[in-house]
Amino acid sequence: MLPTIAVVGFSASFADDPLPVLLQQNRWLEEYFEINTLGDHITHLVSKPLRNDETVFQAIFNVSPSLRDFMKKHGDRIILGMNSCKIYDRFHVKRCSICQLFGHYHKECSNKTTPSCAICANDHETRLCKISFDETDKHSCINCKRGNSGTRANHMASSITCPQYVDAQNKVKRLIARLN
């Protein structure tokens, strides 16, 4: 399992293939690839706009542990166009859109006949929920309820602050650290 990073803060003009520009504008990165094979150390997965500002883009990459360390030593910043972009670690946790459990997606779900709603934690598909995203006082997390961890469940299963999600992310972080 390779580390995944997000390079955040560039314009749409670089979204299709940011890698050549990254290498051209960041001499320290170019130096790294003079002694390392490019394809073995970095793979561009996707570029997409930020949720809160569609004029600002982020690029997601898988990188080797040695390249990730090299980026940290250079301040976790990279130039792309006229922008100084921040580099963040991403610890992706799969969450099924049917049962809401972590570790798989809907295609691999063994609970396809028993859906759980990501909004209210009831036994129906999320897309059929009568509660809106704005009705936060009615949100309930099925994973926190299942986990019976004593934590509050007054959030959606898709919340990035969900204690169960944070625990799953921490497991991924530990696994990546152990493998590297």
Summarize pLDDT for 144-163 with one digit per residue, the tens.
998 876 667 899 999 988 99
Q: Which of 61, 57, 8, 13 is nearest to 39 (CA)?
A: 61
Report residue 176 as tokens. Answer: 């990546």
pLDDT > 90: what percent of the chain? Answer: 51
- Per-residue pLDDT, averaged over 113-140, amounts to 94
Cα angle 78, 52, 158; round to 5: 105
- Per-residue pLDDT, averaged over 89-98, amounts to 88
Q: How far apart are CA 117 and CA 123, in angstroms?
A: 6
Q: What does the pLDDT read at residue 164?
A: 92
Q: What are phi and psi of 36, to 5 degrees?
A: -130, 145
Distances (CA, A) of 119 to 67, 98, 141, 148: 39, 12, 7, 18
- Per-residue pLDDT, averaged over 79-89, amounts to 91
CATH architecture of 4-90: 2-Layer Sandwich (3.30)
Q: What does the pLDDT read at residue 111?
A: 86
- Per-residue pLDDT for 130 more than 90? yes
Q: How far apart are CA 59 and CA 50, in angstroms?
A: 10
- Per domain, the residue ranges of the chain are 4-90, 93-157
Q: What does the pLDDT read at residue 1?
A: 67
Minimum mean pLDDT range among 24-28, 125-129, 142-146, 151-155? 151-155
